[in-house]
């Protein structure tokens, strides 16, 4: 239990509001954020409402999902960093299941150290799936295949990309990904709102 002084001090940063704003900007539900962070939706709800203050490791798990640094939650109107270097050893891998049991893809954020980004860049490993799940989100998406072959279906149209091929598309259209080979596929995916 925090003292009233500590509670006032922590509340002044508006961590819950900033967390909620990030989640809503990504159009993510609490259950989806819970799945990505390994935290419960109930706990995340309490954090957003300011009923609970996160520990730094908990806050970092959340920050990594949104591709922001811890300073995002503690800055108060100060200019943010539009530059960030991310070392491979510092990246965390997340698995996306899109509400199912099978892992649709695994990803690592490549640019989380820059807090004022106009795009989001990820390294992604795509698995071979019999029935990939469709999803969509606002903005545009660019995919550059590093290794293997990738089948992307956008608005019902299928495209097979080999290593060094790329595609750009309107990501508000329903789209799916699946590796064309059993070994999987690696790609760089860039999304922009």
For residue 41, give the 3-state DSSP assignment.
helix
CATH says 88-192 is which class? mainly beta
Long-range contacts of 36-41 (CB under 8 A, 24+ apart): 36/65, 36/94, 36/96, 37/61, 37/62, 37/65
Give φ, ψ of 177 to 5 degrees: -130, 145
Residue identified by tokens 């925090």 is 2
Domain made up of 4-74: CATH architecture: Orthogonal Bundle (1.10)
The length of the chain in residues reads 193
CB distance 150 to 179 below 8 Å = yes
Q: Where are the domains of the chain?
A: 4-74, 88-192
**Cβ neighbourhood burial of 96 (10 Å; 0-12, 13-18, 19+):** middle
Provide the whole-model pTM.
0.63
pLDDT tens across the length of the chain (193 residues): 567 777 777 887 889 889 988 888 888 889 989 888 989 999 999 999 888 999 999 998 998 888 888 888 887 654 556 788 888 988 888 888 887 788 889 999 898 777 677 889 999 999 999 889 999 988 999 999 999 999 999 999 999 999 999 999 999 999 999 999 888 999 999 999 7
């Amino acid at each position: 239990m925090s003292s009233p002084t500590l509670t006032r001090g922590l509340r002044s940063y508006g961590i819950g509001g900033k967390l909620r704003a990030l989640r809503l900007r990504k159009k993510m539900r609490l259950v989806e954020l819970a799945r990505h962070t390994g935290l419960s939706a109930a706990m995340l709800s309490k954090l957003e409402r300011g009923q609970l203050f996160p520990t730094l490791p908990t806050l970092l798990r959340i920050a990594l999902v949104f591709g922001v640094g811890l300073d995002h939650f503690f800055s108060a109107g100060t200019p943010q960093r539009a530059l960030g270097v991310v070392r491979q050893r510092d990246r965390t891998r997340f698995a996306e299941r899109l509400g199912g049991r099978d892992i649709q893809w695994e990803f690592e954020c490549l640019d989380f150290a820059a807090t004022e980004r106009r795009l989001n860049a990820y390294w992604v490993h795509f698995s071979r799936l019999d029935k990939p799940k469709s999803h969509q989100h606002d903005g545009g998406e660019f995919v550059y295949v590093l290794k293997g072959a990738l089948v992307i279906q956008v608005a019902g149209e299928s495209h097979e990309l080999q290593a060094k091929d790329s595609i750009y598309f309107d990501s508000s259209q329903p789209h799916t990904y699946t590796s064309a080979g059993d070994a999987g596929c690696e790609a760089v995916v860039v999304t922009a709102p």
